[in-house]
Chain A
Amino acid sequence: MSNTALIKEFEAIVGADNVMTSETDRHTYSYDAAVLDSVMPALVVRPTNSEQLGKAVKLCNDNGLPLTVRGAGTNLSGGTIPHPGGVVVLTNGLNRILELNEEDMYAVVEPGVVTAQFAAEAAKRGLFYPPDPGSQTVSTIGGNVAENAGGLRGLKYGVTKDYVMGVDFWDVNGELIHSGSRTVKCVTGYNLAGLMVASEGTLGVFDKIILKLIPPVKAAKSMMAIFPSMKAASETVAAIIANKIVPATLELMDNFTIRTVENFRKAGLPTEAAALLLIEVDGHPAQVEEDAIKVEDICKQNKASEVKVANDAAERDAVWQARRDALPALAKLKPTCVLEDATVPRSKIPAMIEALEEVSKKYNLTIGTFGHAGDGNLHPTILTDKRDKKEWERVEEAVDMIFERALALGGTLSGEHGIGLAKSKFMINETSAGTLAYARRMKSVLDPKGILNPGKIIG
């Protein structure tokens, strides 16, 4: 940034140590976890309290500087890639748990609190925060709310939005906006907290988030069911739900992923199996026993060749280790790993799996598929090398086709990764020209200079 006076102003707000201007520092905030080109910001600032954050936002707006808020930068849709010449506002200096209320079961946190650390802190107080995105050991609550992050427990416990009771945020004028409350019920005014969830930093800058907590689970039982076809496995998913059982997790792995994971861990996975379902039921001990037996029966009725029920903690851990290994194992095969999150209604999973096989053949690409079958959220993972230009073109076309098919099946562009830069061009296909115009009108009023994370979601 050539304007040294402006840098001085930022320094006056957050302190000189918290304003980064060097080429090297700026470069390390030019990307996130999405496979997209990096964009250099002009400046990186790190507020360490609420007041500093509000002033920094106002200063950006006063000077028409594009502003992108960044937590851990684990975003998979480019939502934290800055705008050229813009400012990155880091939230990792805002990482305090302000209140953890055991009596009323809620917490108030700053946006930079790391998800897994927060969940662990809640667990210490005998409470449960269920959302568990794959990046939870580093991702922040602010980012989770901004992207409406999901996770393995989405089927039974819902996703981040189901735990957001309120959000305080700064508007572009530096006014602190309050929304929601510490009460379970609250109908005061517009549901601004709801509006802020999944807004990806385009409507305001989070200052505080009020999160709902629930009592911890008393018992759980895990099992692994082996299937001779993807069709049988995906039909089982539908059958379990149709029998009115909602497992805490219901995960699917295809043969390619099974073989890759087995090659990686040598944990004795059935490499011949066409598909695996990893299932966990939880709740009251008596109910868990009953549900586990029912699920086992349903699996067998739906052609499972074998159902292995974990008898102790070690066996349970082995089941989930296999699932946790899916992405790391796939990621080691090729340099570039495009992890998509096309999502369809549960009943359409067999059709979506077929579509993915078709995409893989048509574009001659290796696709490993695993994911949260229970909530219809699949992770087709394309393995490639982005340096191979010809193959990369095929990857881009394949991604287009995956979204087309997901939408045709009544699905959605993104189950949990967000729209960001990566999928904004597809928005019109899922919504409508009118919807986009409405969203753009709304943003233009709330953010007249267009400084809040420009280019994301609505283009």
Chain B
Amino acid sequence: MTALAPAPRGTGGDRRSRGAPALSPAPAVRSLLRGLPTVPAVVLLVVFLAGPIAYCVYYAFTDMQLTGASGTHFVGFDNFTRALKDTDFLNAMWLTLVFVVGSAVVGQNTLGLALAVLMQKATRPVRALVNGVVIAAWVLPEVVAGYLMYAFFFNQGSLNSLLDALHLPDQNWLYTMPILAVCLANVWRGTAFSLMVFTAAINDVPQELVEAAEMDGAGPWQRLWRVVLPVIRPSILTNLMLITLQTLSVFGLIYTMTRGGPGNKSETLPIFMYQQAFQNSLIGYGTAIALVLLVVGALFSVVYIRLLKLEDD
């Protein structure tokens, strides 16, 4: 992990010659004492995260209703077979895929990388301006971002004013293409994260590599394709993973803008899950959908960890 880590200890019999107390505790006791500081965090994580996840797996196989646990029965895979027959669920799966691929993989990732590359060549005030506005959109609370985007895409909103001014055709975005509107909103809000990751990564590219390529007559495009991108590949993968996971669980932004509507035209899995559990009182069914979301997230997490290849020294 780090070059500064101490030599491995804990193999027992590690008595330092200087100043070691005459009576050191037994190795097992010492390991326990060393682990003591992790207790508060572990308790919180077990109670509030591991517990609910275990609950989630259990409830997903019951017909629990919001009205109370009195009539809860074990129903096996009923919730899942029901989901597979439910056109609304399939619609939510499809929209989630569109939302994740469109706004994260294509939108945020590409725009973040493009901005990071372009900013290397921009003049300083322009660079500061881009940084400022992109990060401002990211720092704003989710609901405020949703409200601003609602106003921006609204039929009489700023976007249509702009399109009119440029003599381009406008339309009622939130009605005709709500999923496109929420995708663009998520790009507006989330690109800062990718921009920061890529800026840090590009700054770490050894300058001599780029200069050597330049000496060999590589143009700016070639330097980007052949030198910079291969070097920052791990960052691109990490970033893709992280923003995919963030985008999978976006709720507030979409809910503020469209409530999943009109109809179910922007109803991604988190919105669909919320509506089944709290508006239709089907906790069991909602939890089964939550489990699907958790499993998808967990799969991405595993891939992400594999990519990071945590190297222990």
Is A bound to B?
no
